[in-house]
Structure 1
């Protein structure tokens, strides 16, 4: 699904660069600026520095005069507004709203962000199908523009299916079977007798308890080898004296 991030009346060049960085780490690259404070904001030094390697997003970005100019190919608009508007679209959290949107057949989705000083105008919010609000601590909901964009980009990427964790999932460990555990316990029993820890004439409940302990541990094949190595070391001449 085509995804666009639109920044309206942005006043700080650094926020544009930081927004580009936030987009790139989530795999998005369609950025449009509507009437920013600086006409050359995409190439300003502060912008490039804050982009931190996401220069390709800046190079693809466009600067346009009006919101209408930014909406080509977009069929669903999401405002980002902390305060619900009378007569405006429903206010929802990204996590509750975006999964259903990701499953829809819209050709293009756009996320709109207002100016750092004034947020989004009522007129722009009214044009949207939904107003996304990020749940924050009561009494302090002030989010930096790029931080808010990062949250929305993450939630949208997650709704679209997300990315695999770097390196891929680890292979599940191979658990030892019952025969291997029984063999290891027999080895331990001999070693414990050898060092005088277990009296074979009065074993009490030591071995059944060890059996239950190792069953709860869900031992792997590698761990069985380690425990057998410990038992072998305990059985060496002089092990009892070293105790």
Structure 2
């Protein structure tokens, strides 16, 4: 589904840059500004600084005079409103509503979804809310529900991306290769020798010490590098025990 973020009469240049950044980290790039305070807002220093690398979103953004122009090609309009209105579209939580859009049958899904945001000071005008299909209200602390414009965009961009399937989370480090049975057996033999050298394991009456250690290691599922560490410990124990007896 095509996705567009529409900022109506935005008054702070920094919020435009921050909005572009919020969109880009969630993989969206269609930004339209309706009658912003600054005609050159996309090139202002504060805008560029707050975009923090999302310059391509700013370069592709458009400035239009009317909301009609901004909504061209969009067929599902989502207003953003913290305060419910007595009249107008239903107010719903973003997660619930956006999931229902994606779950709808192929013929019922919108071709283009637009998220509309009003000015920082006054929010969305009633007449703009009335033309929308839904008013999305982010569940916030009832005693303090005020969100910065860019923060609200970030939340809705995240919720929409998750509804669409989300992005894969890249692991911080490459997955370690698990040790195989031969490596585990070699490590346990090394530990057996170390425990004997410490007089902890009595070969005449070993009981179930080594099988229990084997089960412990199997549950831990150590990686190859971890096996090397354990064998290094066993080697150090054997060296220390040999010195003590020598």
Question: What TM-score does the superposition give when structure 1 sets the normalisation length?
Answer: 0.85
In 2: Cα distance, 1:197 partner to 1:172 partner:
32
CA RMSD of aligned residues (A): 2.6
Match of 1:20 in 2: 20
The residue correspondences of 1:150-229 to structure 2 (distance < 5 A) are 150-166=154-170, 170-171=174-175, 173-177=177-181, 180-229=183-232
- After superposition, give the CA deviation of every residue in 1:180-200 in whole Å (9 maximum; x if it has no partner): 544433332222112322222
Q: Which runs of 5 or more residues in structure 1 are unaligned?
A: none
Worse overlay, 76-85 or 141-150: 76-85
Among candidates 130, 137, 141, match of residue 141 of structure 2 = 137
Q: Quote how far apart the aligned CAs of 1:117 are.
A: 0.9
The residue correspondences of 1:16-95 to structure 2 (distance < 5 A) are 16-95=16-95
- After superposition, give the CA deviation of every residue in 1:45-95 in whole Å (9 maximum; x if it has no partner): 322222223233223222222211211100100111122222322222222
Q: CA 1:152–1:239 in 2, change beyond 3 Å: closer, same or farther? A: farther
In 2: Cα distance, 1:20 partner to 1:203 partner:
67
Q: Quote how far apart the aligned CAs of 1:121 are.
A: 1.9
Count of residues paired in the alignment? 241
- The question of 1:114 aligning with 2:118 is answered yes
In 2: Cα distance, 1:172 partner to 1:143 partner:
41
- The question of 1:234 aligning with 2:245 is answered no
In 2: Cα distance, 1:85 partner to 1:208 partner:
69
In 2: Cα distance, 1:122 partner to 1:169 partner:
50
Q: Quote how far apart the aligned CAs of 1:43 are.
A: 2.3
Q: Quote how far apart the aligned CAs of 1:149 are.
A: 0.6
In 1: Cα distance, 2:70 partner to 2:47 partner:
20
Q: Which runs of 5 or more residues in structure 2 are unaligned?
A: none
Contact 1:95/1:155, CA 8 A, preserved across alignment: yes
